[in-house]
Amino acid sequence: MRLPDSPPPLVLKYYLYQATVTFGFFWPVFTVFLLHRGLSYTQIGLLGTISAAFVVLGELPTGYVGDRIGRRNGLLVGFVLLSLSLLGFVVARGFAGFVVLYVLWALGLVFHSGSDDAWLYDALESRLREDEYTRIRGRGGSVNQWVSAGTMLAAGGLYGVRPWLPFLAGGLLVACSIPVLISMPRSKHTDEEDGLTVVETFPLIRQRLTEPPLRLFVLYVALFYGIVNAADTFIQPIATWTLGLPMAGLGPLYTGFTVVAAVASYHAGTIEELLSTRWAVLLIPGLVATFFVVPLLAPLAALPLFFTMKSARVVMAPITSGYLNDCVESVGRATLLSAASMVYALVRLPLKPLAGVVADATAPLVAVAALGGFFVLASVVVCAVETPVADAKTERQTAD
The structural domains of the chain, ordered by start, are 9-399 (1.20.1250.20)
Predicted pLDDT of residue 396: 43
Long-range pairs of 379-386 with CB within 8 A, sequence gap ≥ 24: 379/220, 379/223, 379/285, 379/286, 379/289, 382/216, 382/219, 382/220, 382/223, 383/282, 385/216, 386/212, 386/215, 386/216
Q: How many CA atoms lie within 13 A of 177 on its CB side?
A: 30
Nearest to 115 by CA among 62, 160, 162: 62
At residue 136, the 3 state secondary structure works out as helix
Q: Give Cα separations from 156 to 30, 144, 159, 249 (angstroms).
A: 11, 20, 5, 12
On the question of pLDDT at 67 being above 70, the answer is no
| Interval 140-188: pLDDT, tens | 888 888 898 888 888 778 888 888 998 999 999 999 988 988 888 776 5
| Interval 11-30: pLDDT, tens | 888 899 889 988 888 877 77
Residue type at position 72? R
What's the mean pLDDT in 122-129?
A: 76
Neighbours of 226 (CB within 10 A): 25
What is d(CA 174, CA 153) in angstroms, rounded to the nearest whole number? 17
On the question of pLDDT at 83 being above 70, the answer is yes
Q: What is the dihedral of CA 378, 381, 385, 387, to 10 degrees?
A: 60
The rounded radius of gyration (Å) of the Cα atoms in the chain is 20
The answer to whether 113 touches 334, Cβ cutoff 8 Å, is no
Nearest to 18 by CA among 118, 147, 112: 147
Where is mean pLDDT largest: 119-133, 206-220, 267-281?
A: 267-281
On the question of pLDDT at 191 being above 80, the answer is no
Predicted pLDDT of residue 201: 59
On the question of pLDDT at 90 being above 70, the answer is yes
What is d(CA 380, CA 376) in angstroms, rounded to the nearest whole number? 6
Q: What is the pTM of this model?
A: 0.73
| Interval 252-307: pLDDT, tens | 888 888 889 888 888 888 898 899 999 999 999 999 999 999 999 999 999 999 99
Nearest to 81 by CA among 11, 174, 205, 152: 174
The answer to whether 173 touches 151, Cβ cutoff 8 Å, is yes
* Total length of the chain: 400
On the question of pLDDT at 397 being above 50, the answer is no
On the question of pLDDT at 394 being above 60, the answer is no
Which residue did the predictor score with more confidence, 380 or 353? Answer: 380
User: pLDDT category, 66, cuts 50, 70, 90?
Assistant: low
On the question of pLDDT at 351 being above 70, the answer is yes
The answer to whether 324 touches 208, Cβ cutoff 8 Å, is no
